[in-house]
């Protein structure tokens, strides 16, 4: 831990010296979240990360999260240098939606408005009309439905189903899932809530239906944090990546946070609900970015120009 303190101080010094800003997601290591906040950066959900990176004056963005987050930052700010602690940090949703297959799916349904989740590659976004994140998907799909548009949705089937149920929109779905949220289990959650009858249940919409239907609040990472801060309950069962508990504890120190059950965490594994790709981000990676210029994100210009449209449309709609 003295080593961690030293690494953190070194990273802070380098961020300042290089005029760089750290943009972190709530699922990354707590030290990185703290570092971001202590140095004028942000800890945020994916929508806020995109907006923050675009609007910040710094010419170097260090994006601590997974690859699509770095790509979105680069797509919105091609003139900035965007660096990531580990370029191998991907996402099962992105991996499960290859651009060529997705493109063929779009070609087969030319009458549909293409709406993709943020958790996709730049090449997939280049085929889309709209990008959405979990914090604005409901709002945007409701609007599209009101306009009479039929939707082609990719890639998260759980988020897609939730949005479909809430809005009644006509949605043709890609069959992808987040490996972290897909593990939350409805039956085990029932048992847990019997032990904690007054607990408020907070669920990220990438979770299965059996879990979402028991939620008091369904929302993006930022929405779930807000629910803990503002909630009147003493106990909260949290069904999302447990990296989020760091910020929840800081902002709501008096409240009891309980991790929602996954298939494994009762017996073998205490914290299955943590994304292996988010976990690749560390202080040393941030230092390497700043000292060596490692982890630079590049997006080919033709793809970038096409992908920019769907992200900008979302940012304008939610402004
Ligand atoms: P949000 O932070 O937008 O809720 O997204 C969660 C996520 O999937 C990041 O991996
Ligand atoms: Fe992707 Fe799930 Fe990891 Fe988020 S938590 S980056 S959705 S695999």
- Tell me the pLDDT tens digit for each residue of 136-195: 999 999 999 999 999 999 999 999 999 999 999 999 999 999 999 999 999 999 999 999
Indicate the DSSP class of residue 117.
E
What Rg, from alpha-carbon coordinates, does the chain have?
19
Q: Report the alpha-carbon distance of residue 45 to residue 25 in Å, rounded.
A: 6
- CB of 241 closer than 6 A to ligand 2? yes
- Looking up tokens 């797509």 gives 75
Distance 179 CA to ligand 2 centre (A): 7
pLDDT band at 282 (very low <50, low <70, confident <90, very high): very high
Q: Show me where the domains of the chain are located.
A: 2-89+278-297, 93-178, 181-259
Average pLDDT score over the chain: 96
* 2-89+278-297 matches 181-259 in fold: yes
Q: Report the alpha-carbon distance of residue 257 to residue 312 in Å, rounded.
A: 36
Summarised one tens digit per residue, pLDDT across range 51-101 is 999 999 999 999 999 999 999 999 999 999 999 999 999 999 999 999 999
* Per-residue pLDDT at 1: 84
* Per-residue pLDDT at 265: 53
Is there a cis peptide before residue 294, judged by omega within 30 degrees of 0? no
Average pLDDT over residues 37-54: 97
- The CATH number of domain 2-89+278-297, selected from 2.60.40.10, 1.10.10.10, 3.40.605.10, 3.40.50.10800: 3.40.50.10800
Ligand in nearest proximity to the CA of 67:
2
- CB of 46 closer than 6 A to ligand 1? yes
Task: Report CA-CA distances (Å) from 257 to 149, 264, 299, 302.
Answer: 41, 19, 39, 46
pLDDT at 47 over 60: yes
- CB of 45 closer than 6 A to ligand 1? yes
Distance 2 CA to ligand 1 centre (A): 31
CATH class given for the domain over 181-259: alpha beta
Distance 27 CA to ligand 2 centre (A): 9
Single pTM value for the model: 0.96
First to last CA, the chain: 41
CATH code for 93-178? Answer: 3.40.50.10800
Ligand in nearest proximity to the CA of 92:
2
Give the list of residues 6+ apart from residue 4 with CB closer than 8 angstroms, or none. Answer: 31, 283
Q: What is the ipTM of this complex?
A: 0.98
Query: Where does the chain show beta strands of DSSP type E?
Result: 20-25, 42-44, 60-64, 81-83, 113-117, 130-132, 151-154, 171-173, 200-203, 217-218, 235-239, 256-259
């Amino acid at each position: 831990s003295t080593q961690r303190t030293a690494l953190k101080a070194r990273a802070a010094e380098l961020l300042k010296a290089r005029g760089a800003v750290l943009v972190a997601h709530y699922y990354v290591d707590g030290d990185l979240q703290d570092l971001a906040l202590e140095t004028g950066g942000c800890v945020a959900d994916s929508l806020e990360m995109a907006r923050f990176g675009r609007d910040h004056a710094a010419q170097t963005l260090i994006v601590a999260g997974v690859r699509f987050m770095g790509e979105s930052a680069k797509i919105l700010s091609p003139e900035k240098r965007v660096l990531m602690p580990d370029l191998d940090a991907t996402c099962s949703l992105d991996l499960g939606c290859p651009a060529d297959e997705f493109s063929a799916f779009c070609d087969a349904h030319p009458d549909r408005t293409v709406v993709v989740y943020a958790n996709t590659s730049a090449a997939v976004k280049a085929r889309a009309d709209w990008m959405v994140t979990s914090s604005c998907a409901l709002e945007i799909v409701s609007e599209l439905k009101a306009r009479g548009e039929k939707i082609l949705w990719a890639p998260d089937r759980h988020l897609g189903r939730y949005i479909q149920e809430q809005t009644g929109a006509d949605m043709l779905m890609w069959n992808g899932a987040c490996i972290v949220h897909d593990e939350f289990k409805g039956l085990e959650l029932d048992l847990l809530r019997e032990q904690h009858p007054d607990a408020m249940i907070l669920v990220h919409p990438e979770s299965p239906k059996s879990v979402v239907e028991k939620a008091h609040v369904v929302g993006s990472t930022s929405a779930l944090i807000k629910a803990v801060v503002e909630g009147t309950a003493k106990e909260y069962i949290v069904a999302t990546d447990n990296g989020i508990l760091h910020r929840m504890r800081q902002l709501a120190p008096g409240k009891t946070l309980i991790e929602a059950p996954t298939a494994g965490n009762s017996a073998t594994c205490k914290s299955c609900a943590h994304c292996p790709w988010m976990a690749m981000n560390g202080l040393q990676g941030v230092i390497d970015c700043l000292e060596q210029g490692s982890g630079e994100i590049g997006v080919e210009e033709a793809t970038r120009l096409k992908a920019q449209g769907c992200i900008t449309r979302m940012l304008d709609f939610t402004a």
